[in-house]
Chain A
């Protein structure tokens, strides 16, 4: 009925001829795909944890409410300038100078069901919380924290630099919650090596898993002060790995 054999005349190598056009396609697709993969990899490595994990140090055992638990200590600091360095070590490699940051890392590791004593050196100035609920110490042993040697249950919500607020991630110990407000350094002379407040508190870690912490004081920029440093992972947010 109908002749479907291939055409006997070869088409001239005219503008639309397949091999050259296919070269166009393949080149374009591969080039763009490679570019995107590189970009993503660049991005991925740039936003992994800046400085490794701080592992809590063991100091023996302690008794809480009649139960003997392993006792570990942990320490970190809060700095006003992420691009600075302390004792020659960069606080946040590649950090943005106008951004406050936790240092020297935002990833911590503690054993499960242990008493963890935390010492925080707070170098930054502050202001008013947007929710005064976070000015109260919650979830610590005794419900108190020691600020510059004095034991307190809450601080002035207008004088907060940062908070250390920890909760379980979905499926990990939903009842766990810790909130410690960190007192601001007064005046305008805050610096990475300047005056600081010392806050010490202890809490009992939950079961194994990953816990997320972040600061609840709006020390960032833009809407509600939660942009900038607050919205960039690794400055004012991180994880506690309970192992």
Chain B
């Protein structure tokens, strides 16, 4: 029995379509998230971008497979749109081996995603000793940030670079969402509870804190400007907000 050349069989043609679509998907994955998402200023933020890139690249071949078969079905097996139904196709009711292979491959992909996610999660939540404490208070419709030990309370969030920060977040009234995409943080501010979150800014720059949980009429205005500055600038800023020089230096000190 003479075997047809690979690329003239349905499988071969589908492979070509699949390959093209996968390449497009991978290129989109490598380019779009980094280009569209804002500049990241923390380790967690960079990790989030990496996750989006990796997941897009991994998803591309899977999506391409479904789309390639769909596309090929329209190219090769299409019978047009006559008034009466066309001739029946072959009575294929299933394919046991194919189903099992599909099940195994998708389960494997699922495990890969899960392991990635768990690893990232444990990295994001690993406790840091001597993290800078920042109290975040949300209320309708403003954020205020407190730096315990310095007596400073401000509506802008200023952080020293390369120092882990622990945010202690709460609300005065309803549930708000403390969220900064560039800083790679999001956690709800709940009334009468303090929730905590860690981040380590690692790049100088500015970021915006936006409220992500709808909280009433001015939800859209509930945002605060933020900056990642050098340690010296951070100490100076604390003093300008009323902290004593000693307390400012204490707060700014990098973990030895």
A and B touching (Cβ–Cβ under 8 A)? yes
Is the C-beta of A230 less than 8 angstroms from some C-beta in chain B?
Answer: yes
Which residues on the B side are within 8 Å of A167 (C-beta)? 142, 155, 221
Is the C-beta of B137 less than 8 angstroms from some C-beta in chain A?
Answer: yes
A170 touches B84 (CB 8 A): no
Chain A residue total in the interface (Cβ 8 A): 26
- Alpha-carbon gap, A214 to B225, bound state (A): 18
Question: Across the two chains, which residue of chain A brings its CB closest to B221?
Answer: A212
Which bucket holds chain B's interface residue count? Answer: 20 to 34
Could you say which of A4, A216, A226 contacts B84, with CB atoms under 8 Å apart?
A4
Which residues on the B side are within 8 Å of A169 (C-beta)? 220-221
Is the C-beta of B33 less than 8 angstroms from some C-beta in chain A?
Answer: no
A177 touches B141 (CB 8 A): no
Question: Across the two chains, which residue of chain B brings its CB closest to A132?
Answer: B153
Count A/B pairs, Cβ under 8 Å.
57
Is the C-beta of B101 less than 8 angstroms from some C-beta in chain A?
Answer: no
Could you say which of B142, B172, B221 contacts A170, with CB atoms under 8 Å apart?
B221
Which residues on the A side are within 8 Å of B220 (C-beta)? 169-170
Is the C-beta of B233 less than 8 angstroms from some C-beta in chain A?
Answer: no
- Alpha-carbon gap, A4 to B142, bound state (A): 69
A130 touches B173 (CB 8 A): yes
Convert A1-21 into 0s and 1s, putting 1 for each residue whose CB lies closer than 8 angstroms to a CB of B: 110100000000000000000
- Alpha-carbon gap, A226 to B153, bound state (A): 22
How many whole Å from A225's CB to the nearest CB in chain B?
A: 8
A175 touches B225 (CB 8 A): yes
Which residues on the B side are within 8 Å of A230 (C-beta)? 140
B174 touches A226 (CB 8 A): yes
How many whole Å from A116's CB to the nearest CB in chain B?
A: 20
How many whole Å from A139's CB to the nearest CB in chain B?
A: 10
Is the C-beta of B244 less than 8 angstroms from some C-beta in chain A?
Answer: no
B217 touches A2 (CB 8 A): no
Is the C-beta of A48 less than 8 angstroms from some C-beta in chain B?
Answer: no
Question: Across the two chains, which residue of chain B brings its CB closest to A234?
Answer: B217
Is the C-beta of B77 less than 8 angstroms from some C-beta in chain A?
Answer: no
Contact flag A231-B217 (CB < 8 Å), given A4-B84, A133-B153: yes
A131 touches B137 (CB 8 A): yes
B173 touches A165 (CB 8 A): no
Enumerate A121-144 residues with CB–CB distance to B below 8 Å.
130-131, 133
Is the C-beta of A76 less than 8 angstroms from some C-beta in chain B?
Answer: no
Enumerate A178-231 residues with CB–CB distance to B below 8 Å.
212, 214, 216, 218, 223-226, 230-231
Contact flag A224-B191 (CB < 8 Å), given A130-B172, A133-B153, A216-B142: yes
A130 touches B221 (CB 8 A): no
Is the C-beta of B139 less than 8 angstroms from some C-beta in chain A?
Answer: yes
Contact flag A214-B141 (CB < 8 Å), given A4-B84, A170-B220: yes
Contact flag A170-B144 (CB < 8 Å), given A212-B218, A223-B173: no
Is the C-beta of B223 less than 8 angstroms from some C-beta in chain A?
Answer: yes
How many whole Å from B8's CB to the nearest CB in chain A?
A: 33
- Alpha-carbon gap, A192 to B85, bound state (A): 79
Which residues on the A side are within 8 Å of B223 (C-beta)? 170, 174
Is the C-beta of B69 less than 8 angstroms from some C-beta in chain A?
Answer: no
Is the C-beta of B2 less than 8 angstroms from some C-beta in chain A?
Answer: no
Question: Across the two chains, which residue of chain A brings its CB closest to B191?
Answer: A224
Question: Across the two chains, which residue of chain B brings its CB closest to A236?
Answer: B217
Could you say which of B144, B174, B225 contacts A174, with CB atoms under 8 Å apart?
B225
| Residues of chain B at the chain A interface (Cβ within 8 Å) | 83-84, 137, 139-142, 144, 153, 155-156, 172-174, 191, 208, 210, 216-218, 220-221, 223, 225
Q: What are 20 A-B interface contacts by the 8 Å CB criterion?
A: A2-B84, A4-B83, A131-B172, A133-B144, A133-B153, A165-B142, A167-B142, A170-B208, A170-B220, A177-B155, A212-B218, A216-B139, A218-B173, A223-B174, A224-B140, A224-B174, A226-B140, A226-B173, A230-B140, A233-B217
| Residues of chain A at the chain B interface (Cβ within 8 Å) | 1-2, 4, 130-131, 133, 165, 167, 169-170, 174-175, 177, 212, 214, 216, 218, 223-226, 230-233, 237
